[in-house]
Amino acid sequence: MNKQQGAIGIFDSGYGGLTILKEIVNKLPQYNYIYLGDNARSPYGTRSFETVYQYTLQCVEWFFKQNCHLVILACNTASAKALKNIQQKNLPFIDADKRVLGVIRPTSEIIGNYSNTKHIGILATNGTVQSNSYVIEIEKFYPEVKIFQQACPMWVPLIENNEHENKGADFFVKEYTQALLKQNDKIDTVLLACTHYPLLLKKIKDHLPADTKIISQGEIVANSLANYLQRHTEIEMKCLKEHKIEFYTTDAVEDFNKHAATFYGKNINARHIDL
C-alpha cells in the first residue's frame, strides 16, 4: 500500500456514526473507509469535556496510525467537546497536514433553510446541549433563527442497548419531544443532533406534529464531505479509492456485529482494538 494514501476515518462513541457512514458511502462509494466505534466507553454524552476530549484524541491518534489523513468525527458530542481542541492544540504538533472535521459545522451551514418559521428545535445529548455549539454555529449562518434545545440523556443508552423499538422507549421519546415543543409553539423544524437518533425516527415522528420537519444529519454530512474533497484536492489525493470499508470497535466484536447491522443496514465484520 502506498503510505502516502489512506482510508477516510469515521469515528463515533458507538454505533451512531454508522448512520453517517451509510450516507457517506452512498454518496462517495469510491473511497476506502475505516469506522471506529468506542463502544467500550460510550455513551460520551454524559461525560465531562476533558474526558470526551481525551477519549476522542486517543481515537483520532489511532486513526492516524492506520494512515488516515482525514478523520470525520461522526459524533455530535465529540464534535462539540473535542474537535476545536484537537484542531487547534493537537494537530499542529501531531501532523499539520492531517485533517479532523466534525458534524456540527456542516449541519449548521444548512439547517436554517429548512425552517419557514425560523424556529428550530435541537434534540441532542447533554454534552452537545451544554456546549451550546449549535446555538453559536447556527447564529453565524442564520442570525434570524431562534434555537430551542432539549437534552435527551436516555436515548443513547436505549439505542445502545437495543431497546429503541420496544415499548419502554416511548416514555422517553414522549418526555423529551414534549419538553422541546413546550419551549415554543412556532418550532417547525427539529434537528436530530445526535447520530444515534435516526434509529428512533419512527417513534420521534409519532410524538411530533405531523407537519414538523425532522432532519437527520447523514445526507447533510455526506454532501458536505463531497464538497470538501472537491475543494481540497491536496487531501482528496491522499484518500485511497479501492471501495473498501473496515470496521473496528473497542468492545466485544460479536455484540458490535449483531447490533451494527441495524444502524448500517448491512452485515458487518468488525475487529476489536484496545486503546
Binding residues for ligand DGL (CB under 6 A): 12-14, 16, 42-45, 75-77, 125, 128, 156, 194-196
Cell numbers standing for residue 146: 431562534
DSSP states along 157-171: HHHHTT-TTSHHHHH
Q: Which one of the listed residues 59, 68, 152, 194 is annotated catalytic?
A: 194
Least Å distance, CB 186 to ligand DGL, is 26
Least Å distance, CB 161 to ligand DGL, is 13
Least Å distance, CB 130 to ligand DGL, is 12
- Told to judge if 75 belongs to the known catalytic residues of this protein, a careful annotator would answer yes
Paired with 124 in beta bridges are: 151
Nearer to ligand DGL, 128 or 240 (CB): 128
Nearer to ligand DGL, 76 or 189 (CB): 76
- Told to judge if 239 belongs to the known catalytic residues of this protein, a careful annotator would answer no
Least Å distance, CB 45 to ligand DGL, is 3
Please state, as a whole number, how many other Cβ atoms lie within 10 Å of the Cβ of residue 249: 25
Q: Which one of the listed residues 59, 75, 152, 239 is annotated catalytic?
A: 75
Count of alpha carbons within 13 Å of 173, Cβ hemisphere only? 23
How does DSSP classify residue 265? S
Cell numbers standing for residue 72: 470525520
Least Å distance, CB 47 to ligand DGL, is 8
Euclidean distance between CA atoms 190 and 272, whole angstroms: 35
Classify each residue of 25-48 as buried b or exposed e, where b means 16 or more C-beta atoms within 10 Å of its C-beta. beebeebbbbbbbbbbbbbbbebe
Extended strands (E) in 139-262: 146-151, 189-192, 213-215, 245-249
Euclidean distance between CA atoms 88 and 108, whole angstroms: 20
Just list the catalytic residues. Answer: 75, 194
